[in-house]
Amino acid sequence: MTDYIDVDVRPILRAGGEPFSVIMSALQGLEPGQGLRLYATFKPIPLFAVMEKKGFAHAEQALGGGEWEVLFTPGEPRPEEVAAAGSSFDNWPAPAVTLDNRDLDPPEPMIRILAEADKLGPGETLSAFLRREPVFLFPQLEKRGFRWLGGFTPEGATYELTVRAPS
């Protein structure tokens, strides 16, 4: 039976904050075999991939009102990937650039993000607001070696994306 540590990031999200560092520091505090129970105001789909790379399976459950409970359960550790993911996702600096691309015609938001991302220094981040999940942008970011995190804000009308340049 897995023992879960509760992390509730709903207050942070409601206040418009960035919950990622809280989640990552809770993760570092886990004992071997311990899992994480996360409460969020949206389904944190981008986090699933991050946690998967760290060796955690996820099981999510809608709580109503747009809120979600997600159980991250540790599986077989994959040491080399955990180390790689850990070094690149922890301690993201505050964004060097903030873009509001909500009122741009597609594909202008994608072009602007890629243009600005190319100007970032090693390890720097940019943050962008968008109307929809930029599904066609992700493979381009991946090909260029960028990491990203993103999700819809609680009211569901804005997608917030953070992109980090390779360090």
Partner 1 sequence: MIGASISRWTMTYFAAALAWLFVALFMMVVGVGYPTADIASPDTLVLVHVTCIGWLSLAMCGALFQFVPVLVAKPLFAEKWALPALALLSVGLLSLLGGFLSLDGRLPTAFWSLPLGAVLLVAGFGLVVVDLGLTAWLRPTGPARFVLVGLACLGVTVVFGSFFAFALSGWAGSFGDTVLASGIPLHAIAGLGGWLTLTAMGVSYRLLAMFMLAPDVDDRQSRVTLAMGAMAVTFAVAGGALAIGLAAGLPIVLSIAALLGLVCAGLYGRDVAGIFRNRKRRQLELNMRMATLSFASLAGAALLGVALVFFDGFTPHVGAFAFLAVFGWLSGLVLAKLYKIVAFLTWLETYGPVMGRAPTPRVQDLVAENRATKWFVVYYAAVWLGTVALLAGEPTAFRVAAAAMTVGVVGIVHEIVRIRRLCDVASPLRLPAGAVPPHLLFARN
> Within 13 Å and on the Cβ side, how many CA atoms surround 155?
5
Q: Encoding tokens for residue 148?
A: 């990203």
Shortest Å, Cβ 31 to partner 1: 29
Does position 83 interact with partner 1 (CB under 8 A)? The reply is no
Does 4 engage in binding with partner 1 (CB under 8 A)? no
**Shortest Å distance, C-beta 135 to partner 1:** 4
Query: Judged by CB under 8 A, does residue 85 bind partner 1?
Result: no
* Candidate list 140, 154, 158, 160; residue touching partner 1; CB under 8 A: 140
Taking every pair of C-alpha atoms in the chain, what is the biggest distance, in angstroms?
A: 50
Calculate the CA 124 to chain-centre distance: 16
Question: Which residues have CB under 8 Å from 133's CB, separation 6+?
Answer: 150, 152, 159
Contact 122, 136 (CB under 8 A): no
Of residues 9 and 110, the one with the C-beta less far from partner 1: 110
100 near partner 1, rule: CB under 8 A: no
Residues 44-63 that bind partner 1 (CB under 8 A): 45-46, 49
How many residues at the interface with partner 1, by CB under 8 A? 28
Q: Is 102 helix (H, G, I), strand (E, B) or coil?
A: coil
- Using CB under 8 A, pick the residue from 133, 153, 158, 160 that binds partner 1: 133
User: What amino acid is encoded at 166 in this protein?
Assistant: P
* Nearer to partner 1 among residue 10 and residue 131 (C-beta): 131
Q: Is 110 left (phi over 0), alpha (psi -120 to 50) or beta?
A: alpha
Does residue 120 bind partner 1 (CB under 8 A)?
A: no
Residues found near partner 1 in the complex (CB under 8 A)? 45-46, 49, 103, 105-107, 110-118, 131-133, 135-140, 142-143, 157
